[in-house]
Amino acid sequence: MHMQTQWFSQHSLPFNLVVAYIPLLATVVTTILSLVLARATLRYAESSDKSLALARDEFERQWSPELHVKLEKVTSRKTTIVVTNLGRISVLLQMVQLRQISMAVPSLRCIVNEPLVGGTTWTDEIGKNLFDCTGDDYEGQIAASVTFFASGRMYRTDWFRFHVQVRRGEILRLDPVNIAAQRIRKLDEDDEAQEMVRDVASAAAAGA
């Protein structure tokens, strides 16, 4: 009995130290776990923000107006313009413009009033209008652009470029040029808005 009491008296101090350090160890462990959880929460928040941003970009891309313009040679005297609505939103085509790349001002403005539902294509013949732009003999680049309404605002596509070769009033070649087009622009947000509105109004009055 005396030996047991002596053993407890010899080891009482380390045991008390261990008991005293238990709250400290618990605090350290709790702090580490809190930091791990906080980091995991931040990562989850960042991942959620990225997912929301991607979803928003996808929504805007699908529901933003986006048109593709193409000129196709049918015969040596016949050319068609093909306008494809790549977005889901419906648009109202207002004007088709053609110009030579070297010319700052379009040589042709053709007024149209055609609805174009998302995912569909509008086609029209522009054979004579193309010759008004190129003349009977021409080789070089021309560009086509389309102005349209969507969601109550006027937009214009970029200038889609094509290499054309015309000899003696006949179209020998008409090939698209692989230059990335810019996204459409809202005309009511730049200095060109009023000019485009005047173009549409004057051309409509001339055709009346």
pLDDT at 198: 45
Q: Is 192 exposed, middle or buried (0-12, 13-18, 19+ CB in 10 A)?
A: middle
pTM: 0.61
Pairing outcome for strands 67-73 and 79-85: antiparallel
Q: Cβ(144)–Cβ(81) under 8 Å?
A: yes
Q: What is the pLDDT of residues 109-150, one digit of tens each?
A: 888 999 999 889 999 998 778 888 888 899 999 999 999 998
Q: Which of 40-54, 75-89, 121-135, 188-202 is predicted with the least confidence, judged by mean pLDDT?
A: 188-202
- With helix as H, strand as E and coil as C, how does 34-80 read? HHHHHHHHHHHHHHHHHHHHHHHHHHHHHHCCCEEEEEEECCCCCEE
**Eight-class DSSP state of 189:** G
**What are the tokens at 39?**
């980091």
pLDDT at 191: 47
**What are the tokens at 68?**
């593709």
Cα–Cα distance measured from residue 34 to residue 32, given in angstroms and rounded to the nearest whole number: 5
Cα–Cα distance measured from residue 190 to residue 34, given in angstroms and rounded to the nearest whole number: 52
